[in-house]
Structure 1
């Protein structure tokens, strides 16, 4: 697969939350019709239609974030898919530990660098969107067809930057808010402290690792959340790397699946950090021929490929950031804050 086959489209969506969801759905409808609904991942998630936690997930979303319900309703309308199925797909990692969502992040005191790894069937169908709700901060986010924004990488108008890594937590026994709905809600925060407080204040179902930072701030945050805990580590000096399993002491008892890819990427990335390798060179690394950090193989053991790389510099008053197609050295997009050039 070459970078030429990995184009990243652009979407500008604004208005009510239903309007935004509708635009997202229409943008992603073709890819969902051609690939998603025929995929094994879709079938695996749809097999959970009668999972006993589903009513509680819906009730919690309605209680805490009814505006996200509106985005999901618009998304389903734009996709021309059943709202129940679209809701379930956006709960995939809460219900199924092996959902095809990957990623690797390098965290520095004023920088977040991130490989977005996902379903290779979406190669060439993903993109970036500038989302402008009428009642919340605007933001730019990487998008997958059929999914809410916010569970990939994004920067909002307050200069808040968030990167998201899958953590394959085994099925929780009690219901909380779906993890992708929580990360969508985080994009309304004005500061890292607000984002972390939001996670702490709400019940949680699945698990994620987040890189959180803000333009002009001196540190970034490595945040792991699960049903059991929200753990925070501040990155002020030495850089850190995070693949797709929980690492914090507070999550040591989390039942999780650590795949070979995640384990190898974590080990190789930490070795490269010790060698003072630049973040983008780490994210482009293919020295491990079987389980590389830059993932482009059709035989990837987690059935995931790198679909984009983001490098977010937070040292100035505005986030100065670029997005690359996988392995490229010339950016596909440059941003100063939310302004693309």
Structure 2
């Protein structure tokens, strides 16, 4: 297991100032690991200067100008031009060229396992999540804690050069979000999916978060796991560009990184073997009572493996594992770097 140090950065102020601090913190990792990847080079060659990329930018500026300002700050802090960082943030909204290697396509589609465990009696509701990504990003990601001039304070796990929100995070309104990649083929001009995820970190309620995901002008989509501490409600939301299906969670369930709701049964998608195996294994382990040992008993499973260590057909790498416990007045959270490095980070955010 490679070293997986997760640094912490605190930022505050207006949108550009926040982005600038995050860009500075991830500048070296972006240069060394992200911008040199086959995936980024292929997207850059295909889409830089294109009308489609410009349409994504226009849609983002029209819908959420403050979050585009954060991207501008990230670019400045990282010492990159805006188009480079915006393109990097739109990678999930852009089709990879056909000549890209199967390994690069698989890495682009890697993506996470989440457990949603509703509250019983006085117990907290729980959202627990494996964040899976490219092995190149192991040890390059950051935990960010932000006090914004506009909107609630929020925390999130951040990839180098990327707008936070599309991994796992929470805000002081008690909204928790974890995100799983999906790979349907319904791309359209619209608001990039990372901007949508960042918008949810500003949501003041679960209902407001779901409203954001029901926008008709999303360029592509994710599966979102949402929680609201005040009510301890949990929701599993599949939101490709062409639709949005919401399930309020009343019994423990898992979600890997492909669409499983019947609303999208006819939508073309790519399902990688690892995702299918993780979904089946997590469902089986929940049914067998594994959650009695805590969420980690499932997320650290190495037989399927649910915990991805770049073995077998699990091309991705688990970059961090998080557990959020949602109480009416607070969210308690912990982040494990690896199964052997538990509680690398932890904290409590009071609900305002």
Cα distance, 1:50 vs structure 2: 4.9
Map of 1:70 onto structure 2: 69
Do structure 1's residue 211 and structure 2's residue 210 form an aligned pair? no
Contact 2:172 2:349 in 1 (8 A): yes
Do structure 1's residue 92 and structure 2's residue 88 form an aligned pair? no
Counterparts of 1:300 and 1:140, CA distance in 2: 33
Map of 1:187 onto structure 2: 201
Map of 2:140 onto structure 1: 125
1:314-336 deviation digits (Å, cap 9, x = unpaired): 13420111111121363111211
Map of 1:245 onto structure 2: 258
Counterparts of 1:269 and 1:146, CA distance in 2: 32
- SS of 1:314's equivalent in the other structure is strand
1:77-109 deviation digits (Å, cap 9, x = unpaired): 111122111111101111137425411100111
Among candidates 160, 167, 179, match of residue 145 of structure 1: 160
Map of 2:175 onto structure 1: 160
Cα distance, 1:53 vs structure 2: 2.2
The normalised TM-score by structure 2 is: 0.90
Cα distance, 1:120 vs structure 2: 1.1
Corresponding pairs, count = 331
Cα distance, 1:338 vs structure 2: 6.3
Counterparts of 2:240 and 2:199, CA distance in 1: 16
Map of 1:21 onto structure 2: 19
- SS of 2:62's equivalent in the other structure is helix
Q: Any unmatched runs of 5+ in structure 2?
A: 97-104, 119-124
Counterparts of 1:181 and 1:89, CA distance in 2: 12
Contact 1:90 1:148 in 2 (8 A): yes
Do structure 1's residue 287 and structure 2's residue 303 form an aligned pair? yes
Map of 2:121 onto structure 1: none
Cα distance, 1:170 vs structure 2: 2.0
Q: Any unmatched runs of 5+ in structure 1?
A: none
Counterparts of 1:57 and 1:150, CA distance in 2: 18
1:240-272 deviation digits (Å, cap 9, x = unpaired): 111110111122222211001111111111111
Counterparts of 2:63 and 2:165, CA distance in 1: 17
Contact 2:109 2:182 in 1 (8 A): no
Counterparts of 1:31 and 1:329, CA distance in 2: 22
Q: Which stretch of the first structure deviates more once superposed, 326-335 or 57-66?
A: 326-335
Contact 2:186 2:240 in 1 (8 A): no
Counterparts of 2:116 and 2:180, CA distance in 1: 12
- SS of 1:53's equivalent in the other structure is helix
Cα distance, 1:171 vs structure 2: 5.0
The normalised TM-score by structure 1 is: 0.93
Counterparts of 1:105 and 1:85, CA distance in 2: 31
Among candidates 285, 307, 331, match of residue 272 of structure 1: 285
Map of 1:199 onto structure 2: 213
Counterparts of 1:20 and 1:188, CA distance in 2: 14
Among candidates 108, 114, 121, match of residue 117 of structure 2: 108
Q: Which stretch of the first structure deviates more once superposed, 11-20 or 42-51?
A: 42-51
Counterparts of 1:217 and 1:80, CA distance in 2: 43
